[in-house]
Every structure is written in structure tokens, then in C-alpha cells.
Amino acid sequence: MPRKKASKIPNPTIVRIMGRLRMLNYWLVAQVALVVLKLLRLFPVDKALNFADRAARTVGPWFGRHRVALSNLRNAYPEKSEAEIEAIALDMWGNMGRLGAEYIFLEKIFDFDPEATTPGRIEVAGVEHFAEIAGEQKPHIVFTAHLGNFELLPVAAATFGMKITALFRPPNNPYLAEYILSTRTSNMGDLLASQRGASFALAGILDRGGNVGVLVDQKFNRGLRTTFFGRECETNPVLAMLARHYECDVYPAHCVRLPGNRYRLSVEEKLTLPRLVDGAVDVQATTQMLNDTVERWIREDPGQWMWFHKRWSLYGGKRRKVNKTSKTTADS
């Protein structure tokens, strides 16, 4: 009987050295990024944002993530030409540059006043839904995607007196994560890092009648098999599971950039969630509904979404048919 090859045990010293080199790289990248942000702070808001846009469009294509973005765009839009695909990718990098610069100008950018008679940088569609959520003494879930400046949504929630805990995924770079977390905390209220145990924390907030905000457009290993832009992907089912357990209302919300460094924040009507024959929320169909909602937003302005995520890679690399056997009352 042939002997199995013994797995190689990594040398602890090499592992330690590699870990330190990785942290050094993180530190260097963070220092460069923070210096750039400090320099941008010296300029007027519009000039700083426009410069960040142009710089990101120039630098972004140098990175391997640009190739990922182009590949994703070709699969999502097979009818588009290469020139159109490249243009969307460059818009995406411009959006990313602006997003980075906006962290240092959040207080100046967010000028929305429900009582104001003249328009500012921020306009809000669905003001009545903000008021509904803030005024009801029961739990709600608000979901969004990495579109435009999605960070402005919890700032808007605070303006309307809506107490919401936003689930966020910190960057892999711990030095940048610390800076971003401090910036977010000062403007956005309660935050919850997306890590082990986060779903239990969200459940606890809803159990106490609180509101939670969740980004739903990221890949989730071993998640539910769903489709997104006609391709199979894995999606986190936690939002649908929480909605089923707590029978709470679920609201879609997103941000888009407008010309002239302006922004539109939209909160839509609460979703009518698909249900199983026994009346319970259908987790599979609801998770697919979230994908469909986010896809609709992206198709309206594809250059404002982060196409460089490996959203369609599947755990283990194996594809199988999407489960279509779930019986719901949504289609009846």
C-alpha cells in the first residue's frame, strides 16, 4: 500500500519572519495613505475629491485587482465593448479614490437639513421611511451595498434620530482599520465588526428592539448558493435568518454620487419577504431577493460599485445548480 506523503510543517521561524514582514508592509502602506489624506485635508473639499478621483483612475489599473474587475465586468455585461468595460472600471477607481478622501471631509460633506429650503450636497429620497424606522419601537434591518459613499447612510440615520448599529468589515491592514474605525465612530454611532460571533451580537440588538444595518454584497464562504448578474455565487444568509426569527421589517437603502460632488441617499419601501407554505420567511428566496435588489442598483450606475471583489468565486471551486425547490407563497 503506497505511503501518504507527510505534510510539510512550516518552520516557526520563517512563519514569524513572514508575519513581521507582512505587518511592516501594512505599516508602510498605512503611513503613505495617511500622509496623502493629511495633504488632501489642506485643499478645499471639491478640489481634494476631484484630485483623488483623477489619481485613483491613474493608479488603480496598475494593481492586479483591475484585472479582476475587468473579468467580472465582462461576465456581467457580455454585450458591452472592451472600451465600455474599461470605462466602467475607471469610474470604479475614481469612486474608490473619492471614497478614501471623503473620510476626512465627512462632517463638511454631510450638510443635509430636513428643514432647509435650499439644496446642499446631500439629498434624501424616502425621508418618510427614515422617520418610520426612527419612530417605531420595534426592531428593523436596513441593508445596503458598497455603492457610492455608503458610509453616509449611518450618518443620515443619526440625523433622523435613528439608533442603528452598523455591521462593517474592517480592512485587513490593522493600521488603516484603526484610523477608519476612529473616523466612523465619531460620525456614525454604534459599529460592530464583522467577525466570529457578530451574528449573535446582531441577534441581541434585534432582541432588545434595536435596528441594525448590514452590507449584503460581499462573498461569504459556504454561504447559500444564489445568483448575481446571472452567475452562481455564495451569499451570507444571516439577514434572512434574522428576519425570519424576529419577524422584523427589512428596508433597502443605498447611496449614489451625483454630478458636482453631490449625493443622493435613498431608503426604499420595506420589502415584502417571500414566505414558505407555513408562513415563515423563506431564507433562500429572501437572500436571492437581496442580490436582485443590489443588482438593480448596480445596473443603474455600474461605475459606483466595487467590481474588484472576487464575488463569484465559490468555496472549493465547485459549482452546482442553484436550489430552486423552495416552495414559497411569493409566486402564488
C-alpha cell at 239: 439577514
Task: Give residue-wise pLDDT tens across range 113-147.
Answer: 877 777 889 999 988 888 888 888 899 999 999 99
Check if the beta carbon of residue 234 is closer than 8 Å to that of residue 221. yes
- Cα 29 to Cα 14, 71, 82, 176, 236, distances in angstroms: 22, 26, 32, 9, 30
- By DSSP bridging, strand 224-228 and strand 211-215 are unpaired
The residues, ordered by sequence, that sit 6+ positions from 130 with a Cβ below 8 Å of its Cβ are 124, 156, 157, 160, 162, 267
The per-residue pLDDT string of the chain (332 residues; one tens digit each, 9 = 90 and over) reads: 555 555 566 777 776 777 777 778 778 877 777 787 788 888 899 999 999 999 999 999 998 999 999 999 999 999 999 999 999 999 999 999 999 899 888 888 888 887 777 788 999 998 888 888 888 889 999 999 999 999 888 888 888 877 877 776 666 777 776 766 666 655 555 666 566 667 778 888 888 888 888 899 988 888 899 999 999 999 999 999 999 999 999 999 999 999 999 999 999 999 999 999 999 999 999 999 999 999 999 999 999 999 999 899 887 666 554 444 444 433 33
Domain boundaries, the chain: 12-104, 114-317
